[in-house]
């Protein structure tokens, strides 16, 4: 099976699911192209390798080059879900210590945010952290740009299953979520997120928000965010829908 790559941003980290064979030829070219661009944009990249069938010498060499390129840029290439065959190869070649290897995606992303042997971490930003959860990548971009311009540290994801990972890693003060997203893992999303950060505040965006005039939407968003994050609101846990 040819190498197939599926990528998704989880806040400021890019996760790349690798499926198939990582071997010399077009597969390696594809890997270098996608991950190389991701390193420039994100700095930290996590490769999810649990569905990888085979890696040849060229594939291993590509992983080393990409890891080195990321560290030159101040980021890192972390490996998650490494198959036993690849782990044995890394051990035999004494290359295991060169990589940061994690059993789960959650552990790898958390290490990128909190800092690890090769990651500087992303905790130095003192702006209030807000996590945005919306199925539309365009809306995530809009929310992030508006909030960052207003002095917040906005992190976004389109995948509801990634929200707990980001919240655990960043301890955001507020979660902005599409009102269409109600459940996660068979529970109300508020319950799941409050199990991670007790008392976390949620600000739902109604179905009409995406269709508003951009100026009106930005004004409503910032008014609601500042209201929810004000000391009085924070102590009461009050929320309102935008």
> Looking at residues 169-188, what average pLDDT do you find?
92
Domain 4-114 belongs in CATH node 3.30.750.24: yes
Distance CA 82, CA 130 (A): 32
Sheet holding 13-22, edge to edge: 4-10, 13-22, 44-55, 76-80, 100-102
Distance CA 100, CA 63 (A): 12
> Looking at residues 174-181, what average pLDDT do you find?
94
What are the beta bridge partners of residue 132? 156, 176
Query: What was the pLDDT predicted at 237?
Result: 44
Domain with CATH 3.40.50.2300 in the chain: 129-236
Domain with CATH 3.30.750.24 in the chain: 4-114
Does pLDDT of 87 surpass 80? Answer: yes
pLDDT band for 102, please (50, 70, 90 cuts).
very high
- Report CA 87 to chain centroid distance, whole Å: 25
Domain 129-236 belongs in CATH node 3.40.50.720: no
Query: What was the pLDDT predicted at 121?
Result: 74
Locate 42 and state its tokens: 């994100």
| Sign of torsion over alpha carbons 14, 54, 83, 76 | negative
Strands in 139-197 per DSSP E: 153-157, 174-178, 183-184, 187-188
Query: What was the pLDDT predicted at 231?
Result: 60
Strands in the chain per DSSP E: 4-10, 13-22, 44-55, 76-80, 100-102, 129-133, 153-157, 174-178, 183-184, 187-188, 201-205
35-41 contacts at long range (C-beta below 8 A, 24 or more positions apart): 35/66, 35/77, 36/66, 36/69, 38/7, 38/14, 39/66, 39/69, 39/70, 39/73, 39/75, 39/77, 40/73, 41/14
The number of residues in the chain equals 242
> Looking at residues 29-38, what average pLDDT do you find?
95
> Looking at residues 31-53, what average pLDDT do you find?
96
Query: What was the pLDDT predicted at 234?
Result: 43
Q: How far is CA 45 from CA 8, 176, 219, in A?
A: 10, 25, 34
């Amino acid at each position: 099976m040819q190498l197939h790559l599926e990528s998704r941003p989880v806040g400021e980290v890019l996760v790349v699911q690798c499926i198939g064979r990582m071997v010399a030829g077009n597969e390696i070219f594809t890997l270098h192209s996608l991950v190389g661009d991701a390193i420039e944009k994100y700095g930290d990249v996590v490769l999810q390798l649990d569905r990888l069938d085979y890696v040849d010498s060229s594939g291993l060499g590509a992983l080393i080059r990409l890891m080195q390129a990321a560290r030159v840029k101040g980021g890192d290439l972390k490996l998650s879900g490494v198959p036993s065959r690849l782990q044995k190869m890394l051990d035999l070649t004494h290359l295991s210590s060169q990589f940061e290897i994690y059993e789960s995606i959650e552990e790898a992303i958390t290490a990128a945010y909190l800092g690890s042997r090769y990651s500087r971490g992303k905790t130095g930003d003192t702006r209030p952290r807000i996590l945005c959860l919306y199925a539309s990548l365009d809306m995530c971009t809009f929310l992030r740009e508006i909030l960052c311009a207003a002095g917040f540290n906005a992190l976004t994801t389109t995948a509801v299953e990634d929200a707990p990972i980001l919240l655990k890693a960043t301890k955001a003060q507020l979660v902005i979520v599409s009102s269409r997203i109600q459940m996660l893992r068979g529970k109300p999303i508020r319950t799941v997120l409050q199990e991670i950060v007790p008392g976390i505040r949620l600000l739902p965006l109604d179905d009409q928000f995406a269709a508003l005039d951009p100026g009106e939407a930005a004004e409503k968003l910032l008014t609601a965010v500042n209201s929810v994050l004000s000391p009085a609101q924070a102590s009461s846990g009050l929320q309102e829908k935008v």
